[in-house]
Structure formats: C-alpha cells, structure tokens
Structure 1
Amino acid sequence: MTTRHAVRARGLRKRYGDVTAVDGLDLDIRQGEVFGILGPNGAGKSTTVEILQGHRRRDGGELSVLGQDPGHADRAWQARVGIVWQDESAPAELTVGETVRHFARYYPRPRDPEEVIALVGLEAKAASRTKALSGGQRRRLDVALGVIGGPELLLLDEPTTGFDPVARRQFWELIRSLADEGTTIILTTHYLDEAEALADRLAVIADGRIAAQGEPGTLGGRAQARATVHWAEADGTARSEETDTPTRTVTALAQRFDGEIPELRIARPTLEDIYLRLIGERDPR
C-alpha cells in the first residue's frame, strides 16, 4: 500500500433544496487501500460516492480523485474509475459473455473479457443469459462490468444487499482479490462485519459529516475502551466488571476461586457498539 492519495476531499458539500446531504466532509483515501464508509440511511454515503465518481456535482469544497476534479474530468479519467451501483446494470437478454464483451468496447484499454469473467467466478455461466442468474451471480456480473475497464479506483455502493451469508462470503473473497491486484476500493455498506472484514480504514458518516475515521480496531477509541470481565459466582449469579486492567481482575478472581473462574468471558466494545455510539452522538433519534 502506498501513501499517495487516490481521493482528497476538503469541505465537500451537497444540498437538495433545504436538505444538506453532505456537510463539510473531509476525506483522505490512500492508493491501494480498501476504504469503508458507514452510516445510517440518509447520512450522505451514496451522495458522497456519486460526487467522487463525477455522477453528482457538489455545491462546495475541494475534491481530487486520481489527481483530477471529477466535476470537470474527461473521458480518459472516467475510464480509470469503476462503479457498482445498488441497482443492476446488465441487460437481461444478453449472456454473461456477451454483456462483458459489449461493455469492454466502451473503454480505451479494457481488460480481457474472459479473464474478468474468470475473476468474478462466472466461467461456468458465460453462456447463460443474465435473467437466468441468481442474485449473487448477477452481482458478480455487475462487478465484472465495474472492473472491465481496468479501473484504478472501484466504488462499491452497498454491493451485498440481499445476499445470503454464503454469497456474501464469496463476494468478500472477490473484493480481496481485486484489492490484492492494487485496486483502490471504496465500499459503502450497512453490514459492520463486512466493513471489519474488508476495510483497511473506515469512516462513519452521520448527518453528512464525518463522525470518526480510522482502522476498524481503533475507530472511535475502540482500542482504548474499557474491557468488561464477565463471570458467575458459586451460586450461579452472573457478575461483570468494567476495567482498564482486565488481566489484574482475572488474576484476582482466579485466586478467589482457587483456579477456574466459572463462565469467564472478557469483552471489549465491538465495532457495532462503537458505530451505534458514534451515530447516536450525531443523531439522537
């Protein structure tokens, strides 16, 4: 991973009438990283992605994506950015192979269609029509269309919504393989386990602003948060204690119980705990 920036945003703003969707947002996304954007519905995630891609014009702020302003970028720049929207984009009547080869013609230096079909795991479905694919397979085809141009930056907007657990895990492996190739990936998602599994860094957006950003393990002070030690007394009563020194607490309990501590469990705040606290601070509803 390099320290050069694929995205730099300062004071990004977007309004729809009286509603402020993006309110002074700052972002630094390094080339080659997977960057996750979290937030409740209406927080400004999708609008931010649309601005980064050049699909939506901002109302204020400075923005550089792959060294250019998306609001004034040319077709050569557009070929360097891939995007996978929530809505499917593949024609229903074409086969997988026909669809990928067709979209490849839009780019000056596309990847090999057969290679891309293999990359997304659809080799066995290359001759199948899009309408005959499962939901997970159609989503893989959408990713194929997003990467056929060989993008340096790939934007994924809620890519696994509606997936079953098996399809989601398979999709994660696909995203990891793209990241291993050096593609910068920006991912919006409601699934916190997905964000924690895939992202190098995360930003939580609430009310159009960044509530916190950092690595999943340190986001919002998570690494410094107090631990909770859980155990059961001899009569079965459940007990717990918050502490900055869980090892000391466990040592004292072990001496009191003369060895094994019944139902011992040590927990620190999960990413979900931190996320809910962060959006609660910004939006008490």
Structure 2
Amino acid sequence: MGFSVLASGCAPRLLSLPADPGNPLPDFARIHQQATSACTGVRTLTAELSLSGRAGGRAVRGRAIAGFERPDSLRLEGVAPLGPPAFILAGRGDTATLLLPRDNRVLRDARAVDILGALTGVALAPADLQGILTGCVASMPGAVGGRLHQNGWASIDLPGDATLYLERVGAGWQPRAGRRPGWQIEYPAWRGAFPQTVRLRSADPKVNVDLTAAVSQLEAAVTIDPAAFAVAVPADALPLTISELRDAGPLRGP
C-alpha cells in the first residue's frame, strides 16, 4: 500500500518534556513569533519524506514526495523502487482522492484525514500535517500563553489545546517538541529554518503510531501547478473503500 511493512522493532526513547508547572513567560508572543517566523510564512512547500517507525505494531518504511499549499491542499506520492508510484493522494479542502496505480484502485472524494489515517495511521488534516512538518506544530499557531521551565525550556500555548516546547539555544529559542490532542511531536534535528527530522507519536495506545520522517529537498514558497492537487484517474480504475484501505494498511489486525 505504498509503505513497506516489516517486523516490529524497538523505538527510540521519547524526549522528556518539562513536567514542572513553570513560571509565566511575559514575552511569549515575541519569542513565538521569532521562533516560528519561517513556518508561519510558508504558503507552499514541497519535500521528500523518508518514513520509518511503526504503525499498529508493525514496522513501516517508505518514501513519499509531498506538496502543500495553504490553506488545505495536499499531494503525496509514494515512491516505489521501480515503476509507477505506489500511491497518489491529492485534494483540496476536506476531501481527497487516493489512487493505487499498481492495483488500479481508486478511493474518490473521501475525507483527507480518513485516508491518511487508514494509509499511515496519522489521522490529521493536510493543514495540520503541514504545520507539524514545518515546525509550527499547529496549522494556526497564534500564541495564547507561555511558561518558562527548568533546564532552559519554555512552552508556548497554542489554539486547539496544542503546545510548542522550545529550548534555549544561544540568545534565541529553538522549537524541540510539541503536543496536540492525540499526538506528541519531536524535532530532533533542524536544517536552517525547518526541521530535518520530525517524530510523530500517538498519545492513544489504541492508535499505536510512532513514525519518524527525515525531511529532505524541502523548498518553500515554490509555484505548484493547481493540477497537482487533483488525481488523473484511469477510466477503468476499480473503486476502493476506506474499510478496504484500512484492512490492507499498517493498522490492520493480526
């Protein structure tokens, strides 16, 4: 289904986030603006994602080419070693279409969040996924509060019950992690203004997803052809349902 499913292995340890209540951070808005100026200004971006980790107790590995355009457009192509893409997922707004060229199957006009959840275990809307991959944690990351913690950490409260965690680096602050309902995000490595590595782990043990994306060839503010957010479906493609996709994906039962 686009990603190799392997035997389950041991995941790296989770980053230990501040547990103390912290003290009020008076200049949280300025700190947040400076730390996230690059990701908040991104309207379009393309990148290659090398995925590894686990979903549903199974190890997952694969590569995808990603394209985003604010507010809610997405294109993902699963890269296969040879031949056509393993999958093509594209859409605007709440709905998207998934094509499996190798199987000649198509899932039309379903919720993008449902397709992503069935395909990878990451049930997030395109705008939220873009916010996470670029280091903002949330799609609309306006700061609403902040606290200063021990060991040189700070936390910024974001809308939607999300939190961005930052670590003091020299005279500035570097985003290192985030929390949002159902998920913990880590940014172990950065390249310039954007994360080089993103780890996404579900907080719900029933979901059991722990994926790491190595981000490369990231280009922001690029021109993306509007046709990229639609899928050219062969006339003879057979229909596919969300249930069938989920049953065949990494979250299927043993």
TM score, norm. by length of structure 1: 0.22
Higher strand share: 2
The higher radius of gyration belongs to 1
TM score, norm. by length of structure 2: 0.24
The structure, 1 or 2, with the larger RCO (C-alpha pairs under 8 Å, 6+ apart) is 2
Higher helix share: 1
